[in-house]
Amino acid sequence: MTAPAPAVTREDARLMDILQGGRCFYCGEPVGAKATFDHVIPAAYGGINTPGNVVLAHRRCNRMKGDRLPTPEEIARLMRQRRGSRLGLWPPITALAAAEPGQEWVTVARAVAALKG
């Protein structure tokens, strides 16, 4: 058994806001106090509520993203933002970054299953 991943605290959210420059992860416009937590790997793919899998986004941007996996550009942006940060990246996101084209969801499913042990 591995320890359960930590949930997102208020302090984590403040640090995300700083790392994102006060902007929505998806549209890049200021987001402020109305930010919602978007799960980078959506729950539909096994994504969990832990700092390494959460970004701040407008409610409408969060809704528009819906249940899709992040694009390579989004993953690259997240990696840049999180470099050297204790928030880190949830391992399935790192796995997805290295996925072969067409193998994205399989790669994520394997990485999520591996965490469950």
Q: How far is the CB of 24 from Zn ion (least distance, A)?
A: 3
CA-CA distance, 77 to 25, in Å (whole number)? 9
Q: Detail the DSSP E strand segments found in the chain.
A: 36-39, 54-57
Q: Which is nearer to Zn ion, 27 or 76 (CB)?
A: 27
Burial readout 72-84 (b: 16 or more C-beta within 10 A, e: otherwise): eebbebbeebbee
Q: Which is nearer to Zn ion, 19 or 61 (CB)?
A: 61
| Stretch of residues binding Zn ion (CB under 5 A), selected from 14-22, 59-67, 74-82, 86-94 | 59-67
DSSP 8-state class, residue 106: H
Told to check if 35 binds Zn ion by CB under 5 A, we report no
Told to check if 58 binds Zn ion by CB under 5 A, we report yes
What is the contact surface with Zn ion in residues (CB under 5 A)? 24, 26-27, 58, 61
